[in-house]
Chain A
Amino acid sequence: EPEVTQTPSHQVTQMGQEVILRCVPISNHLYFYWYRQILGQKVEFLVSFYNNEISEKSEIFDDQFSVERPDGSNFTLKIRSTKLEDSAMYFCASSESHTVNIQYFGAGTRLSVL
């Protein structure tokens, strides 16, 4: 069964460093998303991406964040200068259809900022 793949599973970084989280969405999907889950809190929407541009972003998704689809398969989330409060589980999701939005999630990347 097709699945969303995320790498790495765990990323440890120093505060102020740049990190790139990688995702390979399901191959025929057109819509891509990033969510995050701070420990003990809700899963929160960060950004949606379609046709090589951001469709919607939350207030969390400030100038420190960026997304990119550098080739036909990868979808990345970059955090330019990590803060302690960026420590969270980051989930990538993708969906196929513009008529029915069923999102499939990856296993997540746990980001630990020290």
Chain B
Amino acid sequence: AQSVTQLDSQVPVFEEAPVELRCNYSSSVSVYLFWYVQYPNQGLQLLLKYLSGSTLVKGINGFEAEFNKSQTSFHLRKPSVHISDTAEYFCAVSLNSGGYQKVTFGIGTKLQVIP
């Protein structure tokens, strides 16, 4: 079974500063990796995904993540955050075998951007 660990439950950061949200996963087989964002009182929006190919993936709103197979990590980064980035961010994984594979989520990291 796969699992996801998000080490930081909350990350405060000043506006225009860089941020990294950490994610580690565990799986005995190949996986797809995702980051979802949940703005206050809203649903889960797909931020970016790693399926195959280049280990650096770019997503919406200037976010990017790097897949590191040896460290089983998929950290999310943004070089300069904005107030509107305040949200909860979920790292997620599903098995790389197609079809109806469930997505397993991490506990989430709350990003608080401070003006």
Interfacial residues, chain A to chain B (CB-CB below 8 A): 6, 31, 33, 35, 41-45, 48-50, 55-56, 58, 91, 93, 95, 97-108
Contact = CB atoms under 8 A, between A and B. Distances in A.
Given A31-B100, A45-B103, A102 B42 contact: no
B71 to A, nearest CB: 22
Nearest to B101: A101
Nearest to A31: B100
Closest 10 CB pairs of A and B: A107-B43, A105-B44, A45-B102, A43-B105, A55-B100, A48-B100, A99-B98, A98-B99, A31-B100, A108-B43
A104 B36 CA distance: 10
Could you say which of B45, B102, B105, B106 has the most chain A C-beta atoms within 10 Å of its C-beta?
A: B102
Given A55-B100, A100-B51, 15 more contacts: A31-B99, A31-B100, A35-B103, A41-B107, A45-B103, A48-B102, A49-B100, A99-B98, A100-B32, A100-B98, A101-B95, A101-B99, A103-B94, A105-B45, A108-B43
A105 B99 contact: no
Contact of B98 (A44, A49, A97, A108): A97
Contact of B102 (A41, A56, A102, A104): A56
B43 A101 contact: no
27 contacts: A31-B100, A33-B100, A33-B103, A35-B103, A42-B106, A42-B108, A43-B105, A43-B108, A48-B100, A49-B100, A50-B100, A55-B99, A91-B43, A91-B44, A95-B100, A98-B98, A98-B100, A100-B32, A100-B51, A100-B98, A101-B32, A101-B95, A101-B98, A102-B46, A105-B36, A105-B46, A108-B43
Nearest to A110: B41
Interface in B2-26: none
A43 B100 contact: no
